Amino acid sequence: MPFDITPFQARRTRLLQTMQAAGGGVAIIATAPERIRNRDAHYSYRFDSYFYYLTGFREPEAVLVLVAGEAPRSLLFCRSKDIEREIWDGYRHGPEAARETFGFDEAHPIAELDEQLATLFANQPAIFHSVGYDSAWDARVTDALNRVRAMARSGAHAPALIRDVRSLIDEMRLIKDEAELAIMRRAADISGGAHRRAMRATRPGAWEYEIEAELLHEFRRHGSQAPAYSSIVAGGANACVLHYVENDALLKDGDLLLIDAGCELDGYASDITRTFPVNGRFSGPQKAAYELVLAAQAAAMAVTRAGAGWNDPHDAATRVLAQGFIDLGLLEGSLDGVLESGSYRQFYMHRTGHWLGLDVHDAGEYKLAGEWRPLVAGNVLTIEPGCYIRPADGVPEAFWNIGIRIEDDALVTADGCELITGSAPKSVADIEALMREA
């Protein structure tokens, strides 16, 4: 299938227009460096999300430069074509093919970047740069800026302002376009299938890592390049550790298994959590706690729509959970009292969601001018209430070591939200039926 440059060109045009509205200047956005894992072996390469969002270019050692003004330009600096290196490392586009394939106005060898930066910066009002994210890049930009200043007697002037380019791109990334949503729906579908596969494979006596292997197999065989984050496969008490990733314990009859796992597809993350019984049947206390978390998620979904505040889903879920903790005998007092004191945090200590996109915890601020930002159509976020009941004085023993989280990915619409991860079963009846069939 031919590469579609249209969405990437449109994003570059939008950023150039935003830069021009701010007074113009030059933006410089670099991709991620390659990283050594040990000795001379590298980690699998993953491009920088900001760079990829604007380019679609996946090779390392690449930089995008955007020049805003009366004649806006997009320039790519990338590795030169090198047949000898391609024998060892694989295909390289080279500047000419990259320019044609990805729709840049110009493309140059990456070796020429430092030499050209001063010329690109000269007589510009501002530099748009990821200030403070990478000290080496801060130094390169400062060096180029000082070389422009040294050209003052020849009539050149240096940019007077340095602006944070990521803050501009963050606002763009918060609203997904159709190209992004198509990929995210596919990623969600693959991940939903992986969770179904994991449920079918789970049984007492299996190991957490065996179930993780089922997830990874399903991700890869459907074209996902990698997990979007380290998979959490947490049986029994391990489910009460929010970021448990050892995945090396034996699964026991009578325990629950919490799986928080999602694939990455073409750069975009999915993020699903499901919790289910190892033996395929919820006990009474497990079912009561599970139905509570499911009700909290439903309450959060009901208020997730364009115009709602970011925190509205969290507040809705928290009210349901706090009342449920009282009803189950985990907490004492009134609902208002439990909420005001924060005692519910013994069992629910995290937020109910986060932005989702090219990063699993995606770009974008949650507050504007000190107020929770309003949701708008095109936002994608997770909705993930939970409860984590550790052994403690006053906690009925029947609930000890029950850890539950239910997480879905939601697209905000004008009148509600669309769950794009609905293919993963989550009702008690559906989960038990699937595991019974397996």
Catalytic residues: 40, 243, 260, 271, 350, 354, 361, 384, 388, 405, 407
Q: In DSSP terms, which residues pair with 273 in a beta bridge? A: 260, 407
* Whole-number Å distance between alpha carbons of 106 and 98: 9
Element at 113 (helix H, strand E): helix 113-121
Burial 313-327 (b: 16+ CB within 10 A, else e): bbebbbbbbbbbbbe
CB 167 within 8 A of CB 403: no
CB 319 within 8 A of CB 280: no
Dihedral over Cα of 175, 179, 184, 185: its sign: positive
In 10 A of CB 436, how many CB atoms? 9
228 conformational bin, left if phi > 0, alpha if psi -120 to 50, beta if neither? alpha
CB 320 within 8 A of CB 295: yes
What the block records as the tokens of 290 is 């599970």
* Whole-number Å distance between alpha carbons of 365 and 268: 19
Burial 336-370 (b: 16+ CB within 10 A, else e): eebbeeebbebbbeebbbbbbbbbbebbbeeeeee
Residue that the structure tokens 């729709």 belong to: 103
* Whole-number Å distance between alpha carbons of 179 and 173: 12
Residue type, 351: R
Radius of gyration of the chain (CA): 25
Determine the length of the chain. 438
In sequence order, what DSSP letters do the residues of 155-199 get, joined into one string? Answer: T----SEEEEHHHHHHHHHTS--HHHHHHHHHHHHHHHHHHHHHH
What the block records as the tokens of 111 is 């070796």
What the block records as the tokens of 229 is 């984050």
How far apart, in Å, do the first and last CA atoms of the chain sit? 37
Give φ, ψ of 424 to 5 degrees.
Answer: -90, 120
Helix axes 208-221, 178-201, angle to 10 degrees: 140
